[in-house]
Amino acid sequence: MSGKPSVYAHETPEWPNFHWDTSTFATELADIHFRRGALITAMASLGFDIRQETVLSVLVQDVTKSSEIEGEHLDVAQVRSSIARRLGMDVAGLPPAARRVEGVVEMLLDATGHFDAPLDAERLYGWHTALFPGGRSNLRRIIVGAWRDDHEGPMMVLSGPLHRQRVHFEAPAAERLPREMERFLTWFGTARLDPVVKAAVAHLWFVTIHPFDDGNGRIARAITDLALARADGTDQRFYSMSAQIERERKAYYEVLEATQRGGVDITAWIVWFLNQLQAALTSAEGVLEMVHHKQGFWDAHRDIQLNGRQIKVLNKVLDGLNSKLRSSKYAALAGCSKPTAVRDLNDLVDKGILRVDPGAGGRSTSYLLTWLAVGPQETRTPHGCDG
C-alpha cells in the first residue's frame, strides 16, 4: 500500500480543536441564511398537498443520492413507497419496499423528523442497525449497532487494485472511539455556533472518526440533515445536500481527503460545504418556481372539466416533460389507445389549454400549453411541452 502521510489531522496534538477563518465565507454565509429563510417562507405558502409532494420528492432524493455516493443504487419506486407510507400519503400502485430500503428511510426520517431530539450513541447505534438489518455489508459480516473493533486491521479508505492499493485515509484506532465519540456528541449537543457552520463541522468530524465498520458516510450525511433541519427549524426538507454532494462526488472525496491529511484549520472544507449548500438551494428554488407555475396553471383552470387521463398528462407536462407531446406520447403516458389520445388532445385544444405547435404537422403534430406564466420581471413566457 502507498500514500499514507506522516500524520493525519486526528493524530495532531491540536485534534479536535478545529478552527477556521470566518471572514473568508461571512458574506456567503449571510446569503445562505437569507435564501434558506426565503425558501422556507415560500414553501409554507404552497397548498398542503403540493408542499407534501415536494417534501416527498426531496426526501426520495436524499435517500437515493446518499446511497449512490457510496456506490449503492436503491430502487427509487421502493424508496418513494416507503417514505410516502410513513408520511401518510397515498402509496397505491407503488411496490412494497425491501428491508434495506426501509432501513435507510427509517434513519433519514428519524434524523429529520426528530431533529430536536438529542443525538447520542444509542441513537447512532439504532441508525446503524437500520442500515444493516442483516448484520452484513454485501457478503461481509460486520459489527452492527456498536463501534468497530478493528479486528481485521485498521479502518482505511482505499482505492486501486489489491496489489497496489492507495490509502486515502486511515481512521483513529478503535481503542480511541469511546473517547472520540463522547467528545463529538458532547460538542454536538452543547456547542454554540452558527447552525450551518455547525452542520459542516459535524459532517467532517464524524466521518473522520469513522466509528462504524460501514455506513459512516451515510450516517454523516444524516447528521448533516439533522443539523440543517435544526437550523431551519422544521422537519420538512425542501433542499437536498446529498443530491448536491452526489453531483460533485469526486470533489467531495478530494476535499475530505485533503482536509483529513491537513491540520485542524478546516476553512477550505467549510467553504466547499457552503458552496454545495448554495447549489442545493439554487436547485430547490428552481423546483419552487416550477411548483408555483404548476399551481398557477391549475388555479387558472380550476373550472374546466377534465378527465383523469388529461390531468395526469398535463401534470407530466408541467413537471418538465423532456420530449414533444404527441398523440403517441400521450397514449403512453395516459395508458390509453391512440384514438383515445387524439380525442383527449383535440378536447384540450378546444378548451384552449393546448395549441398545435405551428412548427410541426401531419404525423409529427405536437402540442404546446397556451397558458402564459407571469415571470419575476412581469414578462410573459409560453410554456412549451418540449422539455
Q: Does 4 reside within a domain?
A: no
Could you list the pLDDT tens digit for every one of the 387 residues in the chain? 444 556 899 999 999 999 999 999 999 999 999 999 999 998 888 878 888 888 888 999 999 999 999 889 999 999 999 999 999 988 878 899 999 999 999 999 999 999 999 999 999 999 999 999 988 887 788 999 999 998 888 888 877 666 676 778 889 999 999 999 999 999 999 999 999 999 999 999 999 999 999 999 999 999 999 999 999 999 989 999 999 999 999 999 999 999 999 889 999 999 999 999 999 999 998 888 877 778 788 888 989 999 999 999 998 888 777 678 999 999 999 999 999 999 999 999 999 999 998 876 556 789 988 876 443 333 333 333 332
Q: Say whether both 96 and 139 belong to one domain.
A: yes
Q: Does 80 reside within a domain?
A: yes
Q: Say whether both 61 and 93 belong to one domain.
A: yes
What CATH number is associated with residue 322?
1.10.10.10
For residue range 203-217, list pLDDT tens digits in order: 999 999 999 999 999
Q: Are 349 and 368 in contact (CB under 8 A)?
A: no
Q: Say whether both 60 and 182 belong to one domain.
A: yes
Q: Say whether both 217 and 283 belong to one domain.
A: yes
Q: Say whether both 251 and 319 belong to one domain.
A: no
Domain stop point among 265, 290, 315: 290
Hey, is 338 helix, strand or coil? helix
Q: Say whether both 16 and 98 belong to one domain.
A: yes
Tell me whether strands 354-356 and 140-141 are parallel, antiparallel or unpaired.
unpaired
d(CA 180, CA 382) in angstroms, rounded, equals: 58
Q: Does 245 reside within a domain?
A: yes
For residue range 153-179, list pLDDT tens digits in order: 888 887 766 667 677 888 999 999 999
What CATH number is associated with residue 187?
1.10.3290.10
Give the number of other Cβ atoms within 10 Å of residue 270's Cβ: 24
Domain count along the chain = 2
Q: Which domain holds residue 178?
A: 9-290
Helix (H) or strand (E) holding 169: strand 166-170
Q: Say whether both 65 and 152 belong to one domain.
A: yes
Q: Say whether both 195 and 250 belong to one domain.
A: yes
d(CA 58, CA 45) in angstroms, rounded, equals: 17
For residue range 212-233, list pLDDT tens digits in order: 999 999 999 999 999 999 999 9
Q: Say whether both 316 and 247 belong to one domain.
A: no
Q: Say whether both 316 and 276 belong to one domain.
A: no
Domain stop point among 255, 290, 325: 290
Q: Are 380 and 374 in contact (CB under 8 A)?
A: yes
